[in-house]
Chain A
Amino acid sequence: MSAVLAVLLQLVQFALVLLVAPLVTGLARKARSRLLGRRGPLVVQPYRDLAKLLRKEAVMAENASWLYRIAPYLVFALLWLATALVPTFMTRQPLSPAADLIALVGLLASARFVLALAGMDVGTSFGGLGSSREMMIASLAEPAMLLVIFTMAMFVHTTSIPSIVDFVLGRPVGLRVSFALAVISLTMVGIAETGRIPIDNPATHLELTMVHEAMILEYSGRHLALIEAASMLKLVFYLSLIAVVFAPWGIVRADPDLAGLGIALGAWVAKIIAGTLVLSVFEASIAKMRVFRVAEFLGGAFLLGLLGTIFLYVSQAP
């Protein structure tokens, strides 16, 4: 594979996740609306929203600092990078040695750190409320995610996604219980981190229930567009991660040919759509939790991850 082609495919990967992200969010909204008996907005509505925000001027609070201004760019870049590092259609790419699961968690943590600080910059009560709750949720979700990673990594002896894909595809892996626990736990973490129901409601502006929206309340215009795009990317990140780690079938591992790439791309799109639909069904069938019930939800995810790690020894006895 020539270097030019490799770089080109890497750029395709970056462009792909960015272009698909609003579509996934649109699909999730549409599906949930239909399940709730509403017609819902068009699937392409998020693109229109982003375009509208980009066209508007940005209104900033008088006492906003430089941190407030650079935060959207940083958050967007960190999440775009993290999402693009998760393999979608092929695993061997120039940047794929950076696709280390723990490093990806670190990138997400950095993005969250910057955004939580930006929420506190103007000094309004809503910003502080959002940041405080976001950090509470993250402080439980991040260890749960790391435990899922431990489960995977102890089983396959690696934290690099391409190697995990090789391992999973390389031998018949049956209904491993640890994996099942890990999937459930990672899904719970993903739901919490992307601010879906029952943790947070992405559609709400009711003061006392919002988390993410409270944090970014002061943002407008292009800054808001970037943050919205970043949270759409985060949804793709989790769907893509679950797809590539637990169901990597179809992905290209060697030198790509056109047919293989087409199949891999089709498989990825199908997996993402399936994941989005499952998420919508889940969201439509559950009510939002009280904030302090979230700790129990994520504590459950954490303990499922721990149980998964422990069950490694049951599943693969010496």
Chain B
Amino acid sequence: MSDFINQALLGPLELLGRQVLTVLPNVLAMGIILLGGIFTAWALGSFSERLLRVIGFDHFCDRVGMNAALLRGGVKTDPSRLVGRGIYWTVIVMASIAALGALNLTPINQFAQSLLAYVPHLVTAAVILLAGYFLSNFVSQAVLIAAVNAGLPPARLIAACSRWGIQVLAAAMALEQLGIAQHIVVVGFGITWGGIVLAGAIAFGLGASDLAKELLERRLINRSKANPEDDLHHW
């Protein structure tokens, strides 16, 4: 009976106790790293935010049109706080990965390593999306103004097409960067874009052949015939 108790109950308990004792320092280390990470994240985030405010980062962003772009995207937080929160969460993620690594467990280590290896892709994808967003805003505004100045009635449609075209392209590039259904994304994007261009070309060719002819004639043959009814000199 005593042997049974020793082997069946105390043995596993002792083993568990030894395992817990082996892991306990690692868990403790994980906790310390996490706590340290949270503190560092808070300190770095707050410091960066305050520093940016002091050096007039918000004012700079306002001058280059960043604030207006953020507002248009529904973001009402000021740029200094955004950067501060970005730094905070970056440090938190890094600390979490480091804390998981402190457990020194093979599956968790592997998971942490793969997560760490994925971070550059995540960052690249985020940068691509952000750049795509700003580029699409810039291009669509430029296209809208140019189309209105050229007197093209579907100016807003043309501008919207340019905006969505660039954003879809950016999304496809970001997904490819993340390794999500790479081939499907590339092929899907190619088919969609090619289809749009072909449809546009056919529609223009069939529905607006006179306009196309006039445009080409004006461009290639004689620009001065652009508006023979108006000889106003603006200069």
Does B associate with A?
Answer: no
Interface residues in chain A, defined as those with a beta carbon under 8 Å from any beta carbon in chain B: none
Chain B residues close to A by CB (< 8 Å): none
